[in-house]
Amino acid sequence: MQPLKIFNVIPKLPEGLEELWKLAYNFRFTWCGHTDNVFKQIDQQLWATTSHNPLLFLQQVDPQRLKTVASDPFFQSQLKITVDTLKEYFEERPSPIIEEASPENPVVAYFSFEFGIASCMPIYSGGLGILAGDHLKSASDLNIPLVGVGLLYKHGYYHQYLTPDGWQQESYPDLDFNQIPILPMEDENGKQIQIAIPLGRRKLRAQIWKAQVGRITLLLMDTEMAENRPEHRAITASLYGGDKEMRLWQEILLGIGGMKVLEVCGYHPKVIHMNEGHSAFAGVERIRSYMQKGLSFESASEIVASSSIFTTHTPVPAGNDRFSPELMEKYFREYARDLGLAFKVFLSFGRENPFDDQEEFCMTVLALKLSRFNNGVSKLHKHVSRKMWKSLWPLYPHDDIPISALTNGIHAPTWTADDMREVYDRYLGTNWREDPDCKTIWSRAANISDAELWRTHERLRARLVDFARHRLRKQLQAYGARKQDIQNADEILNPQALTIGFARRFATYKRANLIMREKDRLLRLFKDVDRPIQFVFAGKAHPADSEGKKYIKEVVSTCRSLDYRFHMVFLEDYDIDIAKYMLGGCDIWLNTPRRPYEACGTSGMKAIFNGVLTFSTLDGWWDEAFIPDNSIGWAIGKGEEYSDPDYQDYVELRTLFNVLEFEIIPEFYDRGRGGLPRQWIHRMKKALTTLGPEFNSHRMVMDYVRKAYKPAYDNYNNLARYDFQPARELAEWRNDIMTKWGGIDLRNANIEIMDETFVGESIRISVDVKLNGIPCDSISTEAYFGQVQQNGEFASRNIRKLTPIGDTDPEGWQHFEGKVSPTKPGRFGYTIRIIPTNPLLIDPRSLGLIRWAVPQETS
Ligand SMILES: *Cc1c(COP(=O)(O)O)cnc(C)c1O
């Protein structure tokens, strides 16, 4: 029988405890130790079994217990401190770099397909989501006027469990939004705000929820509404579920719906940050909205691109969504008309080759074209991305492709284990939590007592071992293992042994099963009873990735076999909670990606803040963090790239085992006075002092603010002045340049040198340019000058602008001159290029126009 109506009964909190609601409805509990403690003090067990979900906790806690703590003066004082801290948190930080803004009036909207904020809101699958969560947390701490936009998936990302033979199974939780600390976003009449957008011929509705992450509001859309067709209700059913069309719907909802959400909620951000290409339709929708204010497509595009930021995350081609022209047509034919574009022209915004009618529409391409600040997520990834997308800027050399690097970071207070936080509070001062990007603070790590650091670390390792045993027992029970095996679970792992952790998505390029390719050698290490080592694994494979699942099966069956099972364990259902246990308690954080597929990787950064040392191939962040003297961790190889994967496995596996056996293990067991591994502890501290200030999300968010948000905000204001007049002018100018550019010509390119010249000597360069009616100040004529490699390519280059000399002659030729001087000895070369320039133009490369001198134009 169906109930007539379903409603929620909310527990009544005893007098004096009402403030608990306030604590529960702010995700700051994920990084504020006080709040965590308050819930722990009420009922530690329940806090754990509710997976640190404060709302579920308050719904389930025994009322009697609440009465007891309500009358406990100690608890009351703890609660007061916690509530006051939250209040102070909101007041404390002087406001942002961007004036006129506040959290209620955000300047930046941050779009992401996933957000990993707390394990009780499982709307993340891995690094991308965790990064987005950490971005919001740091933006909150730093008081950056930012609002988040995302989707609220009814079934979240899946729970993983394994069959007895280790094959991954997925089960989808049914999230009750009344049991997650989020609230409906309501209008002034108390009604939940909704949006409606066209989806093909239908109307798609979504209702809006609000998650409070410290100061930051995160707006989440949910389509499970009676008014929607059943298949549309499923749009927010699960993260990365469904087919291509479903993905397209989700991305339409995120981008186009997301812009609508901001509008109906009264937010008017001037800057849009697209975290990965999923949200790139936001750019198109913004263009449409400016066109409704009377701007042309071109002027609207100038505004939108100049104030958009796009972060690309994946060097794996399959990670970049592409949709067939037919599918696009179903949903964007009308839309293109609204934009005043032929459908084919619309499609060209998502194509590498605008003239290829077969090419699919790629979200990454769209994002790159609609944003003037594009970045990869590590220095290495910048180069990889430039190579990947160079076809969008065919006339530009690698160094000039407009994709920069802004390396990821992690939210230090979230990812530092409780016990370690306390050590830092004492030795570094509590402001490491607010200012983790400050070098001076981390330099104090040198003063931490070796014994205390080590004891804390060992306690965390013991806790991980306990946790692993407990989890393993539950896993074994769940699939009806033999009693003996379940009992054995209490004896796996050794709280004193060197513990190596590997936990991440089981994408095949990460090679989770690498060490299992050398079982003999592994067994030999396991047999050394004086210097025991052990491994803890965790990770999910994408539901459709059967190769990834095979890797899991291989790892799991090894872990379960007789010779290995006391030394190796696989923990099911990797999530934020498991990550915290592992990153607290391991000694070594192992990573084996095939370079260069790891765009950045962030779990190793979390490890640093817990004194866990990285051991990894030189890929992603580790390629820029690693110091070759091994003083902060170890590398596998020297950053080689291989064309034969089997050979690569062979070489890197040998290196891995050699470093492990001859460097890592001996040093871990090199115990001096007090049983302390001094050298090891020294590395822990050095990693903290060197990498701590760098690889945290405060540094990352501040980098975004300085390099991207603030300039984008200024760009917007600049172009939007006088009712968008500059934007209109810029669009006209662009049109003019585009039509005349082809007629530009060069002659008499000349450099005044002999075959040899001295360092520091200044050399005159000159050229004549036929302007073809383009005003002289609309172009920049530049000497492109630098050292040349054996193959004739530039190894480095300097750009020197040449100055127009005299008047343009009657035929339209203009003479340009300038000087360069080589600062180093070596083989040098020069060439000349012309690019368009305009003070309103953020980046001349966006026109795709460039004219290089060719040999016959020299004199
Ligand atoms: C940090 C984290 C990740 C990302 O780790 P990588 O090293 O980037 O692979 C994935 N999942 C969870 C639960 C995490 O905490």
Note the pLDDT tens digit of each residue in 31-84: 998 999 999 999 999 999 998 999 999 999 999 999 999 999 999 999 999 999
- The CATH H-level superfamily of 744-857 is Immunoglobulins (2.60.40.10)
pLDDT on residue 96 = 64
Rounded to the nearest angstrom, the distance between the alpha carbon of 632 and the centre of ligand 1 is 21
Percent of the chain with pLDDT over 90: 86
Weakest mean pLDDT among 230-234, 310-314, 790-794: 790-794
pTM beyond 0.85: the answer is: yes
Once rounded to an integer, what is the mean pLDDT over residues 539-545? 92
Return all residues near 323 (Cβ < 8 A) that are at least 6 apart: 244, 247, 248, 350, 360, 361, 363
Q: Please tell me if the CB atom of residue 836 comes closer than 6 angstroms to any atom of ligand 1.
A: no
Q: Is the CB of 274 under 6 A from ligand 1?
A: no
Q: Is the pLDDT of residue 247 over 90?
A: yes
Distances in Å between the Cα of 462 and the Cα atoms of 77, 469, 537, 581 are 32, 11, 16, 10
Question: Dihedral, CA atoms, 194, 198, 203, 208, nearest 10 degrees?
Answer: -20
Is 104's pLDDT higher than 80?
no
What is the per-residue pLDDT for 95?
A: 63
Among 600, 601, 587, CA closest to 634: 587
Residue 225: how many other CB atoms lie within 10 Å: 15
Average pLDDT of the residues in 771-788: 94
Q: Is the model's pLDDT at 10 over the cut of 80?
A: no
Tens of pLDDT, residues 455-471? 999 999 999 999 999 99
Mean pLDDT of 673-690: 96
Query: What is the average per-residue pLDDT within 96-103?
Result: 68
The type of residue at 377 is V
CA of 72 to the centre of ligand 1 (A): 40
Q: Specify the ligand 1 atom closest to the Cα of 583.
A: 15
pLDDT at 217: 97
Are 582 and 538 spatial neighbours (Cβ–Cβ below 8 Å)?
Answer: yes
**Centre of ligand 1 from the C-alpha of residue 575, in Å:** 8
Which CATH code fits 427-695? 3.40.50.2000
Q: How far apart are CA 550 and CA 168, in angstroms?
A: 9
More confident residue, 648 or 173: 648
C-beta 601 within 6 A of ligand 1: yes
How far are the Cα atoms of 8, 152, 232, 286, 527 from residue 206, in angstroms, in the given order? Answer: 22, 10, 10, 19, 58
Q: Answer whether 602 contacts ligand 1 (Cβ < 6 A).
A: yes
Within 8 A by CB and 6+ apart from 393, the residues are 400, 401, 402, 845, 848
pLDDT score of 92 more than 80? no
Find tokens 């001295």 and name the residue: 758
Closest CA to 841 of 319, 386, 458, 301: 301
Q: Could you tell which of 51, 130, 502 is best to mutate to test the pocket of ligand 1, judged by most ligand atoms within 8 Å of the CB?
A: 130
Query: Could you tell me if 147 and 269 are in contact, meaning their C-beta atoms sit under 8 angstroms apart?
Result: yes
β-sheet bridge partners, residue 274: 111, 310
Judge if 110-405 and 427-695 fold alike in CATH terms: yes
Return all residues near 673 (Cβ < 8 A) that are at least 6 apart: none
pLDDT-derived band of residue 754, with 50, 70 and 90 as boundaries?
Answer: low
Using a 6 Å cutoff on CB, does residue 504 contact ligand 1? yes
Distance CA 654, CA 586 (A): 22
What is the 503 CA–ligand 1 centroid distance (Å)? Answer: 7
DSSP conformation class of 152: -
Give every CB contact of residue 29 below 8 A, 6+ residues apart in sequence: 23, 35, 36, 39, 52, 54, 118
**151 pLDDT higher than 90:** yes
Cα–Cα distance measured from residue 599 to residue 651, given in angstroms and rounded to the nearest whole number: 22
Mean pLDDT within 714-733: 96
Q: Side chain identity at 369, as an amino acid letter? A: K
CA of 235 to the centre of ligand 1 (A): 25
Q: Which of 91, 106, 201, 177 is nearest to 144 (CA)?
A: 106
DSSP-derived secondary structure letter, 13: P
Mutate to test the pocket of ligand 1, among 505, 572, 602, 619 (most ligand atoms within 8 A of CB): 602
669-678 pLDDT tens trace: 999 989 999 9
Q: Which long-range contacts (CB under 8 A, 24 or more apart) does 466-469 make?
A: 466/495, 467/581, 467/585, 468/492, 468/493, 468/536, 468/569, 468/571, 468/581, 469/493
CB of residue 595 inside a 6 A radius of ligand 1: no
Atom 1 of ligand 1, residue of closest alpha carbon: 603
pLDDT at position 602: 98
Provide the residue count of the chain. 859
CB atoms under 10 Å from CB of 437, counted, come to 23
Q: What is the mean pLDDT of residues 695-723?
A: 96
Q: In angstroms, rounded to a whole number, what is the distance separating the alpha carbons of residues 833 and 852?
A: 4
Mean pLDDT over each residue of the chain, to the nearest integer = 94
Distances (CA, A) of 232 to 176, 185, 281: 19, 21, 18
Centre of ligand 1 to C-alpha 658, Å, is 27
The rounded Å distance from CA 599 to ligand 1 centre is: 12
Residue 715 Cβ contacting ligand 1 at under 6 Å: no
CA angle 452, 455, 460 (to 5 degrees): 125
Element (H or E) spanning 577, and its range? helix 576-585
Ligand 1 centroid, distance to 303 Cα (angstroms): 35
Q: Where are the domains of the chain?
A: 20-91, 110-405, 427-695, 744-857
Strand 168-171 to 183-184 pairing: unpaired
Residue 115 Cα to ligand 1 midpoint, Å, equals 12
Q: Domain 110-405, CATH 3.20.20.70 — does that match?
A: no
pLDDT band at 133 (very low <50, low <70, confident <90, very high): very high
Ligand 1 geometric centre to CA of 125 (Å): 9
Q: Which residues pair with 322 in a beta bridge?
A: 362
What pLDDT, on the 0 to 100 scale, is given for residue 821?
A: 86
Q: Is the CB of 576 under 6 A from ligand 1?
A: yes
**What residue's CA is closest to ligand 1, atom 8?**
601
For residue 596, whether the previous peptide bond is cis, meaning omega lies within 30 degrees of 0, is: yes
Q: Is residue 103's pLDDT more than 90?
A: no
State yes or no: pLDDT of 182 exceeds 80.
yes
Cα 558 to Cα 24, 494, 533, 566, 844, distances in angstroms: 42, 18, 15, 11, 56
Q: Would the CB of 574 count as within 6 Å of ligand 1?
A: yes
pLDDT exceeds 70 at position 284: yes
The neighbour count for residue 770, using CB atoms within 10 Å, is: 17
pLDDT of residue 792: 84
Eight-class DSSP state of 349: T
